[in-house]
Amino acid sequence: MTLLFGAIGYFFPVFGQGNNLVSIVCASVIIWILNGLVLRGVKEAAALNILTTIAKLVPIFVFIVAVIFLGAFKPSIFMENF
């Protein structure tokens, strides 16, 4: 959570480096909400897991598609550094 709020602090200065009182309180609230979702049952926890997995995979696929369509991938450089 410190890393998350440190990154968000770049856009919202109130969070600073992610280790101030506001960041700690917000991180605690997020952790309690996630804990509450998990305690509600397996189905809710599985839905949350699916949501986070999709949130992680979408940027990866967007990056791959962007590289393919922009022609930024050069196989010769890839093989040279492989």
Cut 0.85: pTM above it: no
Task: Identify the pLDDT of residue 69.
Answer: 85
Closest CA to 17 of 5, 27, 25, 30: 5
Taking only the tens place, the pLDDT of each residue in 8-17 is 999 999 998 8
Taking only the tens place, the pLDDT of each residue in 24-66 is 999 999 999 888 888 888 887 788 889 999 999 999 999 989 8
Task: Identify the pLDDT of residue 46.
Answer: 85
**Is residue 60 within 8 Å of residue 39, measured between CB atoms?**
no
Domain count, the chain: 1
Taken in order 18, 8, 62, 53, the sign of the CA dihedral is: positive
**Is residue 25 within 8 Å of residue 10, measured between CB atoms?**
no
Q: Which domain holds residue 19?
A: 2-81
